[in-house]
Homo-oligomer: A and B are copies of this chain.
Amino acid sequence: MKLSQGVEWGMHCATLLAQVPDGGLMRREALAVHYGLPEAYLSKHLQAMTRAGVLQATSGPKGGYRLARPADEITVLDVVRAIEGTAEPFICQEIRQRGKGASSPDECRLPCQVNSVMRSAYQAWEASLRSVTIGELVTRMPKSVLKRNQRLLSA
């Protein structure tokens, strides 16, 4: 139960891209420099976010990344799932049906309660992440930071 550090990178990059004026782009290197991250490895996560449909990439000169949708329509969960994948953290292996004390298939009509509890917790986690958008995160940032970013991004 550990999240990849790429989640933090992806989240901050998404919030930064949300501050880029209108349809502007931002190069991979600019993102890396802004947060002091290794550019080569950051590309791996940006790539994943692009595949997941969170970012949109443009090749060639004047190319770069942009948000694929308005920042208010991208949830934190979207970013996390883009980087961490969509697989559930708990995978029930139905050990109740194995071994000496195995339950019959008839007794397993109802889903394994252990699995149900774990799934409920996961859904609560997802719901919490889904309730916040990238756009909201931007508005919560200190105004001095937003101003500085506006200045840096226009240059």
Residues of chain B with a CB closer than 8 A to A102's CB: 36
* Whole-angstrom CA separation of A91 from B110 in the bound complex: 37
The contact of A35 among B32, B84, B95, B110, by CB within 8 Å, is: B95
Taking residues whose C-beta sits less than 8 angstroms from the other chain, chain A's interface range is 35 or more
Question: 1/0 contact trace for A98-111 toward B, CB 8 Å?
Answer: 11111100010010
| Copies of this chain held together in the complex | 2
- The reply on A7 being an interface residue by CB < 8 A is yes
Evaluate whether A129 and B152 lie within 8 angstroms (CB atoms) in the complex, with A33-B99, A35-B96, A103-B145 already known. no
Is there contact, CB below 8 Å, between B93 and A36? no
Q: How close is A92's CB to chain B, nearest CB, in angstroms?
A: 7
